[in-house]
Structure 1
Amino acid sequence: MKVLIILYSGGQAAQEQPKLLGTTENKLGIYDWLKGLGHDVVVTDDKEGPNSDFQKHIVDAEILVTTPFHPGYLTAEIMDKAKNLKLCVTAGVGSDHIDLNAANKHKITVAEVSGSNVVSVAEQVIMTMLVLVRNFVPAHEQIVAHKWNVAQIARDAYDLEGKVVGTIGCGRIGYRVLQRLEPFNCKELLWFDYTDLPADAAKAINATRVATLDELFARCDVITVNCPLHESTRGLINADAIKKMKKGVWLINTARGAICDRMAIVDALESGHIAGYGGDVWDVQPAPADHPWRNMRGPNGNGNAMTAHYSGTTLDAQARYAKGTEEIIDNYLNGKPQNPANVIVADGKYATHAYGQRK
């Protein structure tokens, strides 16, 4: 069978660091294994447009592997051409680059490596939160520019202690963010999710569930987005939502870029309604050079803590999702059941509530 693997090219870094498994050079560590079993394996980073390797090889591929960091966007239209496609594996967490409703229509199984990056992303959330609240980026840029103006930086620098912090989504990542925030002595930790926590998990953290998003918006000094992207969350943080937030709120989004409306974020930051926006996810990936989130700033030249999408692809996370990808494919090849926690859709229906409440 043909296995199509869409990864990002690591260039010299991947050649020097073999632990960069999620690159075209190192091929998730599964290329030789699959070739040894006699399969046709195509590994590429070429994924854009009708003449791309992605669209050329998806036509007769039985297994597609892609990542959230360099996603091959599998639309319903492309899926109609993929007559042999039976399994889509996300090497990581987050399968919104696949039209899941179309996958159900075609009875294609979609699986991801559940839990492979939750610690990595939770740590990134805390780091980004501190970077924004402490106004770190302009402080560092000032030093690199050979300048020294403490007042210019301190005017927008605060402590995390005593602030109200809330997470939109309290799954594996959101929950771990709340755990890591407890030592900072925040005034309150809040969470919103349509799914309740298990009783023992809820008791293990000093955090309060709020009934509505509007309540979270109104009460929080810091808001972190930790929910999946699906029909109900696309554009969730828009101009109307931002108006309901405190002036000077900090927003962190390491979930998916399209959960936040692009220009609503730009306008709110530039006007000073939000004090900062940071994260590593973009509404298009890779982000084009002219994407406004690259250069947006607050009134004092602060408030931007954006990076390329790497929070869930640390070397530790890559080892986990490469191993998990191999296990999912091995289960498929040998007719063994998949770990239910990894299955997003199968047999024409959703196997999880992670991508919205479904009937």
Structure 2
Amino acid sequence: MAKILTVLYPDPVGGYPPDYARDEIPAITGYPGGQTAPTPQAIDFTPGQLLGCVSGELGLRRFLEDRGHTLVVTSDKEGEGSTLDRELPDSDVVISQPFWPAYLTPERIAAAPRLKLAITAGIGSDHVDLPSAISHGMTVAEVTFSNSISVSEHAVMQILTLVRNYLPSHEWVTAKKGWNIADSAARAYDLEGMHVGVLGSGRIGQAVLRRLKPFDVTLHYCDVHRLHKDVEEELGLTYHPDARSLVSAIDVLSIHTPLHPQTQNLFDDELIGAMKRGSYIVNTARALIVSRDAVVRALNSGQLAGYAGDVWYPQPPPPDHPWRTMPYEAMTPHVSGTTLSAQARYSAGTREILECWFDGRPVRPEYLIVDGGGLAGTGAASYTVAG
């Protein structure tokens, strides 16, 4: 029997379960392009429940314990003597989410001789040291596409929040209890007519492009894999072969590329300096794609008119993280991909992966990041491993 160590974010401050705003969520059976939604043999939760926190347990406890496995769930993942570090050495499976990642460093993987499977309940496995996972003979899997549309909606929301100066305007009628139209309008613009680009045109990037097209903007993109000509023509896309070409041509950038050695700290002072003065960046991908302090400097100097996103490093960030206090920001905690709708899908996908793993059946290729001693499936198309 296996021990499954699951690291999830803490329960709501007001207790669990919360009072739900709705009684149901739409049933999603498939995604654009034909991939089906997760298809586990069964689920032990009601879609729309808060599953991503500690008490939610991704809806896995009955399933795992009925099969004789041991489930340990914790939010305690950092610091000397954390539950993660105490429980890891004899764990067979580790599950965590991008929103509250269990950082599986080379040291942690080396300290876990039984660890054979790491699952991301969601999308993005950069919190796992992939070279160490490969040398350790592990499988790394994630629930691809489960929350892609959720993230794309969040990115569009944050673009509009920045460009329309929404948060400062909101503060005038709430925190400031005022009614200052001039100050609210002084940094507000129409998105219409702007040039908007995405870095990374995978599932999320393409979803952002499709959602922005009705705003009558000019769309640009950059990706190592160029889209089919029909898609470019349908959306009126301008392709750029590299990030510098892209950012010099646009007013708004939305980042959707994976984090790997070639994208880490890509947006430094030089690349941000190549953007138009007064550009906006929205980053719902990974925080380390941008230089933390370069973003702060650009906002203070006016090179950037705004920065938004929901990804930080580390997660959660310390109280003195400069993004908490920098000007012209619209930051959120990492929530874009953990709506209640998304949780139903990534919890079901996690169970599907576990069912396959325990039953000796192949895991879907689109869920695989590392398998068989190397990058596999989606991982082979999305990640690089430094040699």
Q: What do the CA deviations read for 1:22-47 (whole angstroms, capped 9, x no partner)?
A: 11101000111101111111000010
The residue that corresponds to 1:325 in the other structure is: 350
The alignment status of 1:349 with 2:374, answered yes or no, reads yes
Deviations 1:157-186 (A, max 9, x none): 100000000001000000000000110001
**Structure-1 residue corresponding to 2:34:** none
Amino acid paired to 2:196: V
Query: Which of residues 209, 218, 234 is equivalent to 2:239?
Result: 209
Per the normalisation by structure 2, the TM-score is 0.89
Partner residue of 1:160 out of 180, 191, 205 = 191
**C-alpha distance in 2 between matches for 1:166 and 1:89:** 31
Q: What's the counterpart of residue 152 of structure 2?
A: 122
Counterpart-to-counterpart distance in 2, 1:56 and 1:185: 54
Report the alpha carbon displacement of residue 348 of structure 1 after superposing the two structures with TM.
1.1
> How many residues align structurally?
353
Cα distance, 1:322 vs structure 2 = 0.1
Moved more, 151-160 or 246-255: 151-160
Give 5+ residue unaligned stretches, structure 1: 298-302
Q: Is the 8 A contact 2:261 2:386 kept in 1?
A: no
Q: Is the 8 A contact 1:14 1:23 kept in 2?
A: no
Tell me the alpha carbon deviations over residues 118-166 of structure 1, each in whole angstroms, 9 at most, x when there is no partner: 1100000100000000001110011111112111121111000000000
Percent identical residues: 44
Query: Which letter does structure 1 place at the counterpart of 2:241?
Result: A
| Separation (CA, whole Å) in 2 of partners of 1:86 and 1:207 | 42
Look up the SS of the partner of 2:17 in the other structure.
Answer: helix
In the alignment, what sits opposite 1:268?
A: 298
For residue 289 of structure 2, what is the aligned residue in structure 1?
A: 259
- SS of alignment partner, residue 370 of structure 2: strand
Residues in 2 aligned to 1:34 and 1:113: alpha-carbon distance in whole angstroms: 18
> For each residue in 1:102-130, what CA deviation from the matched residue of structure 2 results, as whole angstroms up to 9, or x when unmatched?
10111100000000011100000100000
Deviation for aligned residue 1:198: 4.0
Tell me which residue corresponds to 1:314.
Answer: 339
* Equivalent residue number for residue 300 of structure 1: none
- Equivalent residues in 2 for 1:1-359, closer than 5 Å: 1-11=2-12, 12-16=14-18, 17=20, 19-144=49-174, 145-186=176-217, 188-297=218-327, 303-351=328-376, 352-356=380-384
Write the letter of the residue equivalent to 1:332. W
Any conservation in 2 of the 1:218–1:246 contact (CA below 8 Å)?
yes
Q: Secondary structure at the match of 1:14?
A: coil
Runs ≥4 in structure 1, deviation > 4 angstroms? none
CA RMSD of aligned residues (A): 1.4
Distance in 2 separating the partners of 1:14 and 1:265: 37
Looking at structure 1, the residues matched to 244 and 4 of structure 2 have their Cα atoms a distance apart, in angstroms, of 45
How many angstroms does 1:204 deviate by? 3.5
Query: How much has 1:205 moved relative to structure 2?
Result: 2.2
Instruction: Give me the TM-score of the superposition, normalised by structure 1.
Output: 0.96
Q: 1:198 to 1:356 in 2, by over 3 A?
A: farther
Note the C-alpha offset of 1:196.
2.0
Displacement after TM superposition at 1:199 (Å): 4.8
